[in-house]
Structure formats: structure tokens, C-alpha cells
Amino acid sequence: MSRLYARYRVESPLPLPEAAAILAGEQSSGTFVKVPGESDELKERFGARIEKVVVQEEMEVPFLSGARIPKDRDNPVYYRGEIVLSWSFENTAANLPILLSTVAGGTFDLNVFSGIKLLDLDIPSEFLSVYQGPQFGIKGTRKLTGVMDRPIIGSIIKPCIGLKPEEAAERVDGLIKAGIDFIKDDELLGDHPQSPFEKRVEKVMNRINHHADKTGKKVMFAFNISGDMDDMLRRHDIVVQHGGNCVMVNILSVGLTGLARLRKQSQVAIHGHRCGFGALNRCDFLGFEFSAYHKIWRLIGVDHVHTNGLNNKFYESNEAIARSVRACLTPMEDGRRVLPVLGSGAWAGIAPLTFRTIHSYDILFLCGGGILGHPGGLTAGVKSVQQGWEAAVQGIDIGTYANKHKELKQAIEFFGS
């Protein structure tokens, strides 16, 4: 029988083998005493199994408060390390809400830990018989956008609360003429009074379809359909009716079952925004690492997922972001990969560092101000990003390349080295 594996980074005032045993018991027996019917045979078949315990260091001060200190210790030591547990597939079957409750339910509440973070999951392949995974992923998104040999370059409609539909359409028209591949709503924009959803879709798609008829290239626009189930599905259908090829959802807000229902109905790519992820990830010893977090959503069926970008405006290090991108680029068992979305202060000058770090251009490189704020305008903004990536992939110093490409030179002078 297949097994589900979960790897944790932990800190505990108890020796880690003892803490691991308590965690395994809590997430399979669920109580502190043996109860009627809890036979050895039952525990052998369904109980959580401790696969690995590694002690890495000892600390004098706990990462988090609230841990239970053993009564026989005046000056407790806090042990840090990693624990790997496994469960029989029979425990969860192909049910992601139950899987999540198993690996991250009461886990974070246990007072034997002064820190615990889910680092990674190894999910049985049987889940693919229930959950559909990405419908388009990297390969399908490249086909839809017509971009094959470089990053897909995108931008965002700003301000966050949205332009009026006519203004948004004008912005989209300008970006298309400039050579953009992808555009998205902001995650804060839903069905806003000054930007009603249906009117926005109509106006924006009129421009996109017009250019597609003329040039054969159809820019991908991710309309934010996040909302209650009925509203979300209705908005999806509106996008499809107007010829759209992508919708966006705030995946934590929509939830597991909401996304799963959307994936069953969706005829277009699903762009997964990770807003709220910082609450799960920002602490080193609490929450979820991206590697574990994204596997849930890609299994359900997002085609794109935000990873943050290098040298970004948020808290994550470049090393952490590189791990996230590599996680997205690692194929599922059926070979499909989810498209990593790199943004958050991205501009042309970040391209060489990004390529050197992740060794791939199978990404969506998303620039808001890095394109919209270019001193030469939209066309120059898009060209500068394209030129930055040309230099990166060809291994040419970006400053040298900028000497023959004025848009890139302007970007460097304006945004910085």
C-alpha cells in the first residue's frame, strides 16, 4: 500500500525521538491514553510511522513560546532538527482536505513543540486518479501565448483597485502594441464599482480579440474571478464566452474544494495567486515551506503559481525563491509542470541574475512598475525586459548589451544597476 510522507523542521524541549512519537500519535490515535478498540493491529496498519529523526542543533532560547517544559529540567535545552513521518494511503484516500488535516491539522498546536514547519510532502500517485493536475501548465501556456524560446513576459493592471473598463482596455491595447505576452488583474480587484467584472471582460477582450485577428497572436489575460463558488463559476463562463484563455484565483481565499470545483469546469488556464502565503511561510519554525504548499495546489490543477522574484520587495531570500521555482519546474509523475510566476519589483535588470540562479527561462516574468514605469513608455518598457533576457540567455554583460539597446539602457539608468 502506498504511503504519504511529510517532512518537518522542528524545535522541542523534549528529545526529538520523544517529540516525534507524540506527533505521530496525535495525528493517528488522537488522544493521550489508549482507548477501547485501539488494537496493536489497528495501530500497525493505520498509525503514523516515524521514518527519520535528525537532531541538528541545541538552543537555549525557544523560537516560539508556549512549549511545555519538562518538570525535571530547570534550564531546558531546545532541540532543533527534522522529522519525517508517513501514513498509509488508506488513512486519507485521495482526499486533499483529509490529507491536509493529517499532516497539518493539530500538528501546529502541540505544546511539545516550540517550533514546527512542514517542509515537503511526498503524495501518493493515487491522488492523480481523483485530482486532475494542471490542464495547461508550462507547455500549454506556451502554446496559448505563442512564446517558445524565452520567458513569457507579463504585466499587471495598476492601480490595484482597477481602472475603469474603458481605461483598462486602453492600457491593454498599449501593452499589446508594445509586445506583451501576458496581462493580469491585481489580486485585490474583483467586481469593483468603478470596474464591474463583466464590463471589464467585455472591453478588454474586445481589444485582445481585435489584435489577435490582425496578428495571429492572442495575449493571455488573467481575469480575477475569486469569490464564492457560484460567482466564481459564473465569472469563469463570462471569460470563456468573450474568448478569454485564462482566469486568476487567490488560491488560499478560494480554498481546496473551491479550486477543485473550478478545475472540473475550467476551459482555460488557471493562474494561482498566493496572496496570504507569507502568514504560512515567513517564520522559519512555523507554517509551510513553498515546496509542500504548492504541491497541494498544482495537484488540484493550477497552471501558474506565484513564487516571488529575485531581489524582490518582500521578505524572501533569493535562495528561498530559487527553491520555489525549482519545485515548480520539477515534473509531477505524469510529467506535467506548473509555470512559476516571478515578480515583485521585477524589471529588465533582474533578468541576468534570475537566469544565472534558476538556469531556466520556463517562467512567467511579471513586471508591473518595471514596464509601466519605464521612462520611455510602455513599448520601451516591454522592449527593455525582452532585451534584458536576451542578454541573460546569451551570456552577455547587461551593461555591454545596453550600449546597443537604448530601451535597456534607459531602464538601467532609471531603475538602478
Q: What tens digit of pLDDT does each residue of 315-346 get?
A: 999 999 999 999 999 998 878 899 999 998 89
Residue 351: its pLDDT value, please?
A: 97
Name the CA radius of gyration of the chain, rounded. 24
Residue 136: its pLDDT value, please?
A: 97
Residue 34: its pLDDT value, please?
A: 65
Helix crossing, 290-300 with 318-329: angle to 10°? 30
Residue 31: its pLDDT value, please?
A: 52
CATH class of 137-415: alpha beta
Is residue 5 classed exposed, middle or buried when 0-12, 13-18 and 19+ CB atoms within 10 A define those classes? middle
d(Cα 336, Cα 362) in Å, to the nearest integer? 13
Residue 161: its pLDDT value, please?
A: 77
Q: Note the CATH architecture for domain 3-129.
A: 2-Layer Sandwich (3.30)
Q: Is the peptide bond before 159 cis (omega within 30 degrees of 0)?
A: yes
For the chain, domain boundaries: 3-129, 137-415
d(Cα 254, Cα 152) in Å, to the nearest integer? 26
Strands 304-306 and 286-288, bridge-based pairing: unpaired
- 47-85 burial, b at 16+ Cβ within 10 Å, e below that, comes to bbeeeebeeeeeeeebbeeebeeeeeeeebebbbbbbbb
Residue 1: its pLDDT value, please?
A: 78
Residues contacting 14, CB < 8 A, separation 6+: 22, 70, 79, 112
CB atoms within 10 A of CB 161: 13
Residue 30: its pLDDT value, please?
A: 55
DSSP per-residue string spanning 13-60: SS-HHHHHHHHHHHTTT-SSS--TT--HHHHHHHS-EEEEEEEEEEES
Three cell numbers at 235? Answer: 465569472
Residue 71: its pLDDT value, please?
A: 77
Pick from 121, 117, 125, 123: nearest CA to 9: 117
Three cell numbers at 52? Answer: 527519520
Share of the chain residues as helix, strand and coil, in percent rounded to the nearest 5: 45, 20, 35
| 140, 246 Cβ separation under 8 angstroms | no
Strands 78-88 and 49-59, bridge-based pairing: antiparallel
Three cell numbers at 308? Answer: 516571488
Residues of the chain below pLDDT 70: 29-35, 37-39, 417
